[in-house]
Structure 1
Amino acid sequence: MARTTGSRADITGPLVRQAARGLFARHGYAAVTMRQIAAAVGVQAGTLYAYTPDKQGLLAGLLIEHMDLLLAAWDDRPGDPPLVRLERFARFHIAYSLDHPDEVFLSYMELRSLTPENHAAVTALRRRYEDALTAILRDGARAGVMRVADARLTAMALIAMLTGVTNWFRQGGRLDRTAVADHYWGLVRGAVGAG
């Protein structure tokens, strides 16, 4: 099919990803059709295939892009004290999650919708992020400033707790983002025995 009059690759491609991200997050991957994505962008359904091989490729691309951006944004400083690094991680994760709620939601809820190959690619990226926190926890335990029986398990639990903020936080609510991050940092400190 021909490109819709007035559409441009540098504009339409990002619009396709944005529309798919929003629709997948609101309705679920399985419930969304390529026609719905095309309608949201204002192009013919066939036009989407200039930007993605199929709906599965679109989902995988969104999840991989999210993890790539997350990993690029995270800045660990291994020379800093472990508790400083842990606080930086906690505050970073909360801020990033609140800035990208649809991406975070898809990353957790639609991982199951990926083909085995795409699932492996996304989980490899997720593992790199989890490993970053695991390294901080191991360093803290070695330095005697954290009590962590299983660094990997603790990392997974902390990430799940921190990510949960996207389920309930609302801008303009009782707590602002800074207060939420402060409270969560207290919870993280307690979880690793750093009270």
Structure 2
Amino acid sequence: MARKQGSHADITGPKVRQAALALFARHGFAAVSMRRIASEVGVQAGALYLYTPDKQTLLFDLMRAHLVELLADWQVPDGCATAALEAFTRHHIRFHLDRSDLVFIAYMELRNLEPENFRVIEGLRKIYEDQLESILKRGVAAGDFAVPDTKLATLAIIAMLNGVTTWFREGGRLDRGAVEGIYWDMVRKAVALE
């Protein structure tokens, strides 16, 4: 079958990923067919296989690309643990505010990954979580933080920070800077010495 007129790999490939992301976030991975993704993009269903071997690979690639980009964008700063924790908090919010669909599928669609894909995504998530946990451990060792279980605190902080993507709307009551500041204050109080 001939390629649809005006279809180009450098244009259609990203459109396929964007359509899949939006549909997975809105309807759930299991409810979205390749035919539905193709319809959203405006190509024949068979044309999708020029860009991805299957729906599972599409989901995996979206999750992996998100985590790889997140890890590449975040660098643990030198200095005291408190400054590093503030930098982590602000970076996490800044990075994810415009990626709410990716945050949603990264947590809600993990169950739909095949075992090998799941292991890869879990490994990437662990790298990111370990960076936050190392900041918390450094703060505990320095006597700056009171955290009885750094792993639990790591997961709780990330869950709290991810929550902002469910309610934040541009032009709403709070701007991005205010949201970052309030979340940083909550994180700081969560780990502070009593």
Using the size of structure 1 for normalisation, the TM-score is 0.96
Residue 140 of structure 1 deviates from its aligned partner by 0.6
The aligned counterpart of 1:165 is: 164
Residue 37 of structure 1 deviates from its aligned partner by 0.6
Distance 2:141 2:181 in 1: 25
1:146–1:193 Cα contact (<8 Å) kept: yes
Are positions 1:42 and 2:24 aligned together? no
Distance 1:194 1:21 in 2: 41
The aligned counterpart of 2:87 is: 88
The aligned counterpart of 1:177 is: 176
Matches within 5 A, 1:114-193: 114-193=113-192
Distance 1:80 1:112 in 2: 38
Distance 2:20 2:36 in 1: 9
Q: Secondary structure at the match of 1:99?
A: coil
Distance 1:159 1:84 in 2: 17
Residue 57 of structure 1 deviates from its aligned partner by 0.6
CA deviations on 1:75-94 (whole Å, 9 max, x unpaired) are 112x2111000000001111
Q: Quick one: percent identity of the two aligned structures? A: 57
Q: Secondary structure at the match of 2:97?
A: helix
Counting matched residue pairs gives 194
1:2–1:47 Cα contact (<8 Å) kept: no
Distance 1:118 1:81 in 2: 36
Q: Secondary structure at the match of 1:164?
A: helix
1:4–1:43 Cα contact (<8 Å) kept: yes
Instruction: Structure 2: state its 5+ residue gaps.
Output: none
